[in-house]
Amino acid sequence: MTVSILGQKYTLKYESDEAMEGNLGTCMPRKMWIKINKNIVKVQQEETLIHEVLHCISDELLLSLDEGTVQRLAAGLHSCGCRVRVDK
Ligand SMILES: [Zn+2]
């Protein structure tokens, strides 16, 4: 699966809670991948994916968003129906 961010394709993988070491999500913007914990509920996966995409956007656009800002933006965007399009 891939997610398109600012015209570039990032690899998206859903991993087990064990593989994620309990984290909800993680990303490596420079290596262009995002991982989401597949054992959390779907709405949490959706918001976590927005969160990880925001980290990638922040990195690419040099926004220097801190963790708290990314969390609040993800919650706000998810609450108004924003979802990340995932390509197969
Ligand atoms: Zn984060």
**The whole model's pTM is what?**
0.96
Ligand 1 centroid, distance to 81 Cα (angstroms): 20
Contact 33, 12 (CB under 8 A): yes
User: How many domains in the chain?
Assistant: 1
Question: Is 17 part of any domain?
Answer: yes
Does residue 84 form part of some domain? no
Q: 88 CA to middle of ligand 1, Å?
A: 24
Residue type, 8: Q
Q: Work out the mean pLDDT of the chain and round it to a whole number.
A: 98
In a domain, 56, yes or no: yes
Calpha distance 26→18 (Å, rounded): 13
Per-residue model confidence as pLDDT tens digits over 55-86: 999 999 999 999 999 999 999 999 999 999 99
- 25 located within any domain: yes
Model pLDDT, residue 63:
98
β-pairing, 33-37 vs 8-15, is parallel
Q: Is residue 40 part of a domain?
A: yes
Is 28 contained in some domain? yes
Which domain, by its residues, includes 72?
Answer: 2-79
Is 86 among the domain residues?
Answer: no
Determine the pLDDT at residue 77.
98
Least Cα distance to 34 among 15, 13, 18 occurs for: 13
Query: What is the per-residue pLDDT across 13-53, written as a single tens digit (0 to 9) for each?
Result: 999 999 999 999 999 999 999 999 999 999 999 999 999 99
